[in-house]
Each structure stands twice: as C-alpha cells, then as structure tokens.
Amino acid sequence: MMLHGLHVPLMSTGVPAVPAADVIVAPDLAWAGLILLLPLVSLVLCGLCAAFRVRSKLPAVITSAALAGAFVTSVMLYLNYTPPGEVVHLLDWINVSWGSGAIDSFAANFSLYIDSLSLLWIMFVTGLGTLITIYASEYMEPDLGKGYARFFAGVSVFLFAMASLVLSDNLLMLYLGWEGVGFASYWLIGYYYQRPSAVAAAKKAFIVNRIGDLGLALAVYLIWVTFGTVQYDELTTVLQHEDWRTSFEGWTTSAIPYLLMLAAFGKSAQLPLYVWLPDAMEGPTPVSALIHAATMVTAGIYLVARTYPLFMLEPTSLHVVAWVGGLTALLAATIGMAQYDIKRIMAYSTVSQLGYMFLGLGVLTTYGAAYHVFTHAFFKALLFLTCGAIMHGFAGQLDLRKLSGLRHLPGWRITSWTMLIGALCLAGFPFTSGYFSKDAILAEAFVTQGPGFRVLGWLAILTAGLTAYYTFRVWFRVCAGPAAYEAGDEHHGDEDHSGHFHPHAPRLAINAVLVILAIGALVAALPYFMSNQADERLVGGWVADMVHDSTAREGIPGFHPGDPAHAGGHHHADGHAHGHILGMDPHVAMYWISGTVGMVGLLLAAWLHLWRRDHADALRRWMRSRVWIGWLPRAMERKWYVDEFYHAIIRAPLWILGHVCHAFDRFIIDGIFVDGLARVPRGVARWLQPLQAGAVQSLAVVMVGGTMIILLLMALFMQFGWPGGSI
C-alpha cells in the first residue's frame, strides 16, 4: 500500500486494506522548520561569541530571541492547525531500498509531524525555554565571557534536540532528538567542570541514560521489522484498524512496549533508573528548571503517549507502567521528606511527580498524564527558579536549616511569595492547577480495572499527603519564621568592611520571570474548566481535546477504538463511572479526599517547621533514639541506600573487573606474550654481542662454532631423518 508516496510493507497476509491515515502533507507550512533552525542559528552565534571572547550578555540576548521566535512559530502552528494532523517535509534524510521484500527498504526523512500532542509539548517547551533563558541572563552573570557563551550554546543544543524529539514524524528522528537531549544534559550538568561532583554527576546521568537509550534503539528496530515502517502516520494507519491490529502477533509485538518503557524510565527517571536526576542538580539552576523539571524529563511521558497504540497491543505493559510510576512516586516522596538541600528536595519531587504521570498512563488516563505534565512544567520550573534565586543571592546556600524568614528581608518578597504559589500547586491545594491535574490521575486509579490498582490509588493518595508535607517544610523553613541566614561557600564580594555578609536580592530579569511563571502556574488550572470541542462528553477541557486528537486518544477514559460514538470522559454510555471509593464516584470523592490529605500534610508541616520548630528537632532525636524506628529517618536521609546498593552490585564489581583485566593485560598479555617474547631475541643478541667486538680471535671463534653447529645438525638429520621427508 502507499502513503504519501511511501510503501508500507505489511508483515502479515490476508489483511483487508484500509484507507490511509487522514494526516496530510502540508508544503505550505515549511516555515515551521524555524522551530529547529532558530536554536541552530543561536548555537552558531554563541560559538562565535565564545571565539571572539565577547564579555557582554549578547549570548543571552541571542538565545532568548531565538527561543522566543521558536515559541511564536509554535503558537502560529497551533493557530493554523487542522486536525487530525499534518506532515511538513523539510529535507530528505534516509530513504534506501535493497530489494522488493517486506523489509527491504527503509525511509526516515527530516519531517515534522504536527498534531495536537506535539503542539501541546512544543508550546510549553519553547515558552518555558524562553523564560528560563531570560532568567539565566542574570543568574549566569558571574560567568560572563567564554563560560557564559558556552552555557547558552548548550541551551541552544538542547532546544534543537527537544524540538526534533517532539516534532519528528518518525521514530528515527525521535531517536536523534532523544540522544541530543541526553548529550545536552551531559554538557550542562557538567558545566562547572572544575568541580569533581559536577563531572561525576554528568557522567552518571550519561551512563544511566544509555541503558534506556539501548531500549529505544532496540524498540525502533523491532517496530521496523514487525510493521515495516518507523513513520507515525503509517503506524497509525496499520494499528487503527481492528483486523490489522489482531494480525500482528508474536514475541516482537510483546517486546516492543517493554523496550519503549525502558527508554521512558531512563529519560524520565523512574525505578530503577531514577538515581541520575537528583545528582544532576550539580548543574546551574536554570538547567535544573529547564531540562530536569519542565522539559527533558517529560520526554519519556511523550514517548509512551505517542506510541500508546503499541502499548495497547500488550495491555500488561501498561500495568507495569502504572506500578512502576506509583512506587517511584512514593519512594521519591519519602526521600524528599528527609533531605536538607532545597534543590535536591525539588529534584526528588520531580521524580515523584513523574511517577504520577506514568501512573496516569498506566491506568488509562493519558489526558491526566498530559495535563499533569502541562501544569507541572509551570509550577516546578517556578520552584526550581526560586531555589536558584536563593542560592544565587546567599552565596550558594541551599541548606534549609541555615535559612529562615526570607519574606521579611528587603528584596526577597517576590521570591518568597512566588515560591508559595508554586508550593501550593505542587501540594495540590484545592483549586490550584496541581489539584485538578493530580486528581485526574488519582481518581482513575480507582476507576480503571487492573491488578491492585485500588491499592495503587491509596498509595498515590498517601504520596500526595507526603508531597504537601515536604513542599511546605521547605517554604515554612526558608521563607517563614524569624529572619536568619548563613552564607554559603560561593562568595561574590558581598561582605562589607567588617566582614559581614549581605545577600544580594534578585533583580528585574529574575523577578519578572518568577512572576510570569507564578501567573502561568495559576492560569494552568483554567483548561480544566474549558468546554470540550472534540467531544462534548469529554471532561478536561482544552488539554483533553489536545490528547483526543492524537495517537494518545486511546488512553482517554471511556474511549473505545473503532467506535465513532465512543463514550467520552470518565463515564460510560450509561453515564456512570466504573468503580467507587468510599461508596462515591471516584471523580467526585477525590476532590474531597485529596484536598483533605493535602491539608493534613500542610498543617503538619506548619506545626513542625513554623509554629513549633523545636518539636521537629525533638521528634527527630526521639526517633533516632528508638531501635525499632531509628533506622527509618537514617534510611530516608541516605536515600534508602539505593546508591550504595548499586555501588555494591554494579560499580564495585565492574571496578574490580576492570583492574583485574588491566593487570591481566599488563602482566600476562604484555608481560609474557608481547614484552616477554620480545625479550628473547634481545637477550640472545646481548649474549652474543661480546663476540662481535671486531677482534680477529672472536671472529674465528664464531666461524668455528657456527661450523660445528651446522655439522652437528646435519648428523642428527642423517640419523633421524629430515623434517618433512628426504631432500
């Protein structure tokens, strides 16, 4: 069959033909390529700034302008978007054929796949990228010069790679962007390459992500072998028809979702591959906000949503996604409760919230997962940037035990109150954006039928309470209470003549970005209340519409493939939801349950970290003094010893094996077989060297000795025979 002039080789026979997908080629949208081109132009110009040793903020201006242009282009694409999607061909990339068989050709061009899911992602990626770059123009001022240009060049590489990942029309181009964001992450985590901890964190992130990347590479190969294509529109055509769907059977169809899952867990920091993300906080704070909170780490969510029909071929894989996501959310929340570095707390919070998103994908609410991605991008970027402002102003201080009452200090009120808005959203405070997006996931855990999903739902509710606690533990400790602070180790000349430290408050660029993000975090609740255009029975407003018009629509609650009059939203055709919680509709009950649990966590944090801070210290001492529970706070502070466990079973054995191989190579291979054999002729030559002194007597002795050896050999050969027969 042909799609847009491309051959779709089907691996099965006897399958009825179906019409091609409705996605159309749109040559008039070639200007959409600006989303990829502008970051590349920014990269080149930042490189020139570094080469010419520009010591102004020109690299920041260039990068901010380029990303703003990409954002405007994204919005224009959205305004010109025609459902269900469009393909924009930019240039020929790979198009080879070596026969006429089913898998004797391969096509993957550099083209953009414009549908509602890619538009949703690219708009917040470029929009937040622009804001965070403006923030970084002030934050990175101490590095003005070559390092400043290097930082913004790395940001440009990241945005190009992320745009390639999100807008690709085939899995190979997605893989290019996937590897690109990993490389950019390595570049920016290790930005402070003079610090051994930053270098170690960059290597750790790069190596751990390689595990997931291998899963994606194998998945792309198996998809091509099984379906004969790696292009989204052709895969959609194959999988949208029920007869075709059932014709693909075998181990490859079952293996593909698990390999895609492995890739997603690596990039989005889920069990067991989450350990790289907290260490990635060694990079500059704008990197933490842009890459490790709002954009790159959501690539795994995007991958699963984009390939959701493949997961539907193996429903058990979605059960695994749900359980891994739920357990990761709980584990990371318990670790975040016991940390003191506020950036690291936010890092574990990111791991936990990503777990919620995977839980949503697993319990068949791609809408809930996508909506939480959308809201989380705003409030988590806001929280990271407020932490960065504090770190920047207090000479690198991030210990919540050494900061207090910032809202009372001149110049720090904007930081304190915008952090409060981000904390309310993260904690799921009623009527905030996080409240609605998180509830969409929690309720569906009780609606969807799955192995232990009700238990998973209660664990997720418990995690929501822990989230509220550790989030406001930070805010009450750092921004509330009496004003007190200690400087960190990164002084920038902020001491007066008497040696007293004076924090420098953020200026216009940082404060403006914080205010805009705070407004965005609040406004992100509005899409939930918008009327649905795709189907009036849908619940979830604009975001639900965006998911409905994409390959992830099969994960919308109530969607039935092949039924044009499917029941939308959370209800079935009879108007009733599956399941119940405490005898009520989960989508109604969850408003009260999650709100109550969140308030309990918030009030507990207020009691222990605002009103009675001495009680928190007393409780910690009491727990440590009891044998039966003393292990718990220590284990949580040490991150459940997961890093130590990995060191014991992976790093240490590999280190020992490496040294054993090095010793074998040095002493056996080189020492005996290479250097040892080379020493034999050298030793014989040195033994005979005195005979070559030039004296006539020595030459005569050599001649006589050589003649005797030849005669002796001839006698032996005549007695026992010549080797190989007579001569």
Q: Name the residue with higher pLDDT: 684 or 538.
A: 684
- Tens-digit pLDDT profile for residues 345-354: 999 999 999 9
pLDDT at 11 > cutoff 70: no
Here the tokens at position 63 are 């990068």
pLDDT at 562 > cutoff 90: no
What residue segments make up the domains of the chain, in order of their start?
Answer: 2-493+501-555, 699-727
**Portion of the chain with pLDDT greater than 70, in percent:** 87
State the pLDDT confidence band at 552, using cuts at 50, 70 and 90: confident
Q: Name the residue with higher pLDDT: 588 or 249.
A: 588
Model pLDDT, residue 521 = 94
Model pLDDT, residue 469 = 95
Q: How far is CA 165 from CA 34, 169, 217, 223, 315, in A?
A: 15, 9, 14, 17, 25
Facing residues of 686 across strands? Answer: none
Model pLDDT, residue 1 = 35
Q: Name the residue with higher pLDDT: 589 or 603.
A: 603
Average pLDDT over residues 492-507: 70
DSSP single-letter state for residue 432: S
Coil vs helix vs strand at 716: helix
Model pLDDT, residue 678 = 77
- Helices and strands, counts by H and E, the chain: 28, 7
Model pLDDT, residue 121 = 94
Model pLDDT, residue 535 = 65
Q: What is the mean pLDDT of the chain?
A: 85
Cis geometry, peptide bond prior to residue 84 (ω within 30 degrees of 0): yes
Model pLDDT, residue 222 = 93
Give the contacts of 427 (CB within 8 A, at least 6 positions apart).
Answer: 434, 467, 468, 471, 472, 598, 601, 602
Here the tokens at position 352 are 């936990």
Q: For residues 157 and 176, what is the distance between their CA atoms, to the nearest angstrom?
A: 12
Average pLDDT over residues 181-188: 94
Of 187, 149, 151, 182, residue with least CA distance to 164:
182
- Tens-digit pLDDT profile for residues 60-111: 999 999 999 999 999 999 998 888 788 888 888 888 888 776 567 788 889 9
Among 7-21, 113-127, 167-181, 384-398, whose mean pLDDT is lowest?
7-21
State the pLDDT confidence band at 713, using cuts at 50, 70 and 90: confident
Average pLDDT over residues 369-375: 93
Model pLDDT, residue 5 = 35
Residue 569: how many other CB atoms lie within 10 Å: 20
- Tens-digit pLDDT profile for residues 611-668: 988 888 888 888 888 888 888 888 999 999 999 999 999 989 999 999 999 999 888 8
Q: Name the residue with higher pLDDT: 103 or 392.
A: 392
Model pLDDT, residue 601 = 94
Model pLDDT, residue 693 = 65
pLDDT at 179 > cutoff 90: yes
Contact 492, 441 (CB under 8 A): no
Strand 24-25 with 86-97, pairing: parallel
State the pLDDT confidence band at 358, using cuts at 50, 70 and 90: very high
Model pLDDT, residue 20 = 43
Facing residues of 96 across strands? Answer: 106
Model pLDDT, residue 247 = 62
Q: For residues 232 and 112, what is the distance between their CA atoms, to the nearest angstrom?
A: 11
Model pLDDT, residue 244 = 58
Average pLDDT over residues 150-161: 95
Among 182-186, 437-441, 675-679, whose mean pLDDT is lowest?
675-679
pLDDT at 4 > cutoff 50: no
pLDDT at 460 > cutoff 50: yes
Dihedral sign, Cα of residue 142, residue 144, residue 147, residue 149: positive
Of 156, 210, 160, 213, residue with least CA distance to 188:
156
Here the tokens at position 545 are 């519409």
Here the tokens at position 250 are 């075998």
Q: For residues 340 and 574, what is the distance between their CA atoms, to the nearest angstrom?
A: 51
pLDDT at 9 > cutoff 50: no
State the pLDDT confidence band at 249, using cuts at 50, 70 and 90: low
**Portion of the chain with pLDDT greater than 90, in percent:** 55
Model pLDDT, residue 458 = 94
Of 297, 365, 288, residue with least CA distance to 328:
297
Virtual CA dihedral for 327, 329, 335, 337, nearest 10 degrees? -130
Give the contacts of 564 (CB within 8 A, at least 6 positions apart).
Answer: none
Q: How far is CA 335 from CA 252, 331, 340, 349, 402, in A?
A: 37, 6, 11, 9, 20
